[in-house]
């Protein structure tokens, strides 16, 4: 069975989970803790980011875009990529554009998130239990610093990424121009990617990315700032309509 190396709270991982579920592919999750994941992921893939999919025929497939393409090839379920050449190119271009947005949206949201280290730690540790949890909690003073370095959580970078995120929200609104979907007239990888990678702005309920309820003020303010943006409503709609779950999942 396929295995997904992942973080619980990661919009890139949620994109990968969504594509696998959408294509009705059974897989197991191997959940890693941010910071502690590096040696293992590096050893397996030569780079350090998750999601990584362990496959029987193609080894370790990493990058949510490549995982989506792999899922399309081996899965059943509706097509994620348009059959028409021009539409497929458009969908792929939007997928690529939103990869960059995903990095900006994360940094922009981690700004307010890391103002409250305890809350940030709880988000990162997620549902991990037992010794793994307590060890993570005890060492987060160091891991938290590594995370702020890896993601360049500096005021000027956070401000620039916030600006880029706002532009992405406006871009989606304009590109949709009142339609339901970004490319053609049905759900594609472009919608799935944009909706997933904007999770740090919208945290849709139907998204499998938990954000604890007792949010500190900076996080509440961050979410409130965008709550009325039409693109946020659109991401909620995409998840509600198309985020199928547990389809033959092997857990």
The nearer residue to ligand GSH, 15 or 229, going by C-beta atoms, is 15
62 beta partners: 52
SS3 6: strand
The nearer residue to ligand GSH, 48 or 208, going by C-beta atoms, is 48
4 beta partners: 29, 53
> Could you tell me the smallest distance in angstroms from the CB atom of residue 62 to ligand GSH?
7
Query: In residues, how long is the chain?
Result: 251
> Could you tell me the smallest distance in angstroms from the CB atom of residue 155 to ligand GSH?
21
> Could you tell me the smallest distance in angstroms from the CB atom of residue 48 to ligand GSH?
4
Token pair 């500096």 in the structure block, residue: 154
What Rg do the C-alpha atoms of the chain give, in angstroms?
A: 18
* CA–CA gap between residue 49 and residue 41 (Å, rounded): 7
> Could you tell me the smallest distance in angstroms from the CB atom of residue 208 to ligand GSH?
14
The nearer residue to ligand GSH, 16 or 169, going by C-beta atoms, is 16
Footprint of ligand GSH (CB under 6 A): 7, 10-12, 38, 48-51, 63-65, 99, 150
Helix (H) / strand (E) element for 35: namely none
The nearer residue to ligand GSH, 83 or 208, going by C-beta atoms, is 208
Give the number of other CB atoms < 10 A from CB of residue 45.
Answer: 18
> Could you tell me the smallest distance in angstroms from the CB atom of residue 12 to ligand GSH?
4
The two tokens of residue 191 are 């919608």
The nearer residue to ligand GSH, 42 or 186, going by C-beta atoms, is 42
The two tokens of residue 168 are 């992405």
* CA–CA gap between residue 228 and residue 202 (Å, rounded): 10
């Amino acid at each position: 069975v396929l295995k997904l190396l992942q973080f619980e709270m990661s919009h890139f991982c949620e994109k990968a989970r969504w594509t696998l579920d959408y294509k009705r592919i059974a897989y197991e999750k191997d959940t890693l803790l941010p910071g502690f994941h590096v040696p293992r992921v590096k050893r397996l893939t030569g780079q350090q980011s998750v999601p990584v999919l362990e496959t029987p025929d193609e080894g370790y497939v990493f990058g949510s875009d490549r995982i989506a393409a792999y899922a399309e090839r081996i899965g059943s379920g509706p097509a994620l990529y348009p059959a028409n050449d021009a539409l497929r190119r458009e969908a792929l271009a939007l997928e690529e554009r939103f990869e960059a947005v995903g990095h900006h949206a994360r940094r922009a949201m981690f700004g307010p998130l890391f103002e409250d280290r305890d809350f940030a730690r709880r988000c990162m540790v997620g549902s991990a239990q037992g010794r793994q949890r307590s060890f993570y909690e005890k060492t987060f003073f160091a891991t938290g610093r590594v995370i702020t370095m890896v993601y360049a959580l500096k005021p000027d970078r956070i401000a620039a990424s916030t600006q880029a995120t706002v532009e992405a929200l406006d871009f989606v609104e304009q590109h949709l121009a009142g339609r339901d979907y970004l490319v053609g007239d049905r759900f594609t990888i472009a919608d799935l990617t944009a909706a997933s990678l904007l999770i740090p702005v919208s945290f849709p309920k139907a998204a499998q990315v938990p954000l604890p309820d007792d949010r500190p003020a900076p996080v509440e303010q961050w979410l409130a700032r965008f709550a009325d943006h039409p693109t946020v409503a659109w991401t909620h709609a995409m998840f509600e309509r198309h985020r199928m779950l547990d389809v033959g999942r092997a857990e």
